Amino acid sequence: MSSQHSNYDLHPRTHIELGAECHEGWEEVIGIVREQISNGRFILCIEGYPGAPLAEVCERVTSAVAPSLTVDTETLFRPEHEIDEMLRPYLGDDPVFGRLNAIEIADFFDAADFSQARERISQTKNGVILLIGPGASLLAKDIDLLVFAELSRWNIQHLQRQNLVGNLGTNNLTDSPGKKYKRAFFVDWRSADRLKLKIFPEIDYLLDLNAPESPRMISGNDYRRSLSLVAQRPFRVVPFFDPGPWGGQWMKRTFNLPPDKVNYAWCFDCVPEENSLLLSFGGRVLEVPALDLILTQPQKVLGQAIFEEFGAEFPIRFDFLDTVEGGNL
């Protein structure tokens, strides 16, 4: 199969001229965190999006600051059968369809364990207290440094397909990728986005873990200013491509896509729920969910009329569907 030159940008960047500093690599990231920590009692909270690889974050932070108390929210979740029962009315048995719901991350916690954790935190009077995991920011009101650890939905899906990531509060690594995606779409991600939106004004740093070997971090103030700027100018999201039963060969040839896939059935391009934004700060690039832009700047991006009708939801999907030399759509 011959390839051809393509002017379709697979990695479109939005350049941000703020004079903002984007920190890159574990040494820089951990160094910035360590610089913020003061003597005495100090609560460091690393709120994590479900699926974000927080084990290495915890290990590196622990090595750098030697916390006197660490609370990992994964130890506070309700028994798995209770969580399954809570979600059953919304997930049902259909392999694809579910029901939208108002489940919060707080609903995943065992009330007694959560209360005991908060008591341990209040009784710890000295040293660094490390709170980490989805819902960690709910454990204390007097957080000194709040870091939000981010991972794109597309990368979460790749980890799900490799059986490296399950669902929130559940040890279901070997469930089918479709089942894990459905649960994440209807529950995990929406719960996390509700919490993110609530704490968004207080986030001190945004930590991008999409390339875990080389994390990137930017201050919360610069991130909020960046999204405000992007909302007022043209931008593109990062497209992604996936095989499927009807998949064809046109996109593979036209866009010079990796040839190892048997086909490409569709491309998501401008589906903010699924796609990412690449924000470029002087050559360093931060990957963030495009949905952050919709959630935090809905009137600017959507317009007031659309926002009043649909809320902070992007109401259109832009897909390429390829059946050329492929199957029957």
Residue linked to tokens 């779409």: 185
What angle (nearest 5°) sits at the alpha carbon of residue 101, between those of residues 312 and 132? 80
The whole-number pLDDT of residue 4 equals 60
Question: In the prediction, which pLDDT does 163 show?
Answer: 96
- Per-residue pLDDT of 92-129, as tens digits, reads 999 999 999 999 999 999 999 999 999 999 999 999 99
Using a 10 angstrom Cβ sphere, with 0-12 exposed, 13-18 middle and 19 or more buried, the burial of residue 175 is: middle
Strand-pairing partners, residue 129, are: 43, 69
| Separation CA 185–CA 48 (nearest Å) | 17
Q: What is the pLDDT of residues 251-310, one digit of tens each?
A: 999 999 999 999 999 999 989 989 999 999 988 999 999 999 999 999 999 999 999 998
Average pLDDT, the chain: 95
Per CATH, the number for 26-214 is: 3.40.50.300
Q: What is the pLDDT of residues 65-82, one digit of tens each?
A: 999 999 999 999 999 999
pTM to 2 decimal places: 0.94
**Percent above pLDDT 90 for the chain:** 91
Q: Average pLDDT in the 175-204 region?
A: 97
DSSP codes joined into one string, 287-325 = EEEHHHHHHHSHHHHH-HHHHHHH-S------EEE--TT
**pLDDT band at residue 2 using 50, 70 and 90 as cut-offs:** very low
Domain positions in the chain are: 1-16+237-329, 26-214
22: three-class secondary structure by DSSP: coil
Do the beta carbons of residue 91 and residue 183 sit within 8 Å? yes
Helix (H) or strand (E) holding 222: helix 220-230
CB of 59 within 8 A of CB of 132?
A: no
Angle between helices 26-36 and 54-65 in degrees, nearest 10: 50
Please tell me the distance from the alpha carbon of residue 226 to that of residue 230, in angstroms, as a whole number. 6
Q: In what order do the strands lie in the sheet with 216-219?
A: 23-24, 216-219, 205-208, 145-150, 42-48, 128-133, 69-72
Strand ranges inside the chain, DSSP E: 13-15, 23-24, 42-48, 69-72, 128-133, 145-150, 205-208, 216-219, 240-242, 266-268, 276-281, 284-289, 319-321
**pLDDT tens-digit readout, 11-33:** 999 999 888 899 999 999 999 99
d(CA 144, CA 71): 15
Query: Following DSSP, what letter does each residue of 81-112 receive, concatenated?
Result: HHHHHHHHHHH-S-SS--------GGGGB-HH
Confidence at residue 3, expressed as pLDDT on a 0 to 100 scale: 52
| 5, pLDDT greater than 80 | no
pLDDT at residue number 1 = 45
Which tokens sit at 80? 């798995």
**With 50 as the cut, is the pLDDT of residue 217 above it?**
yes
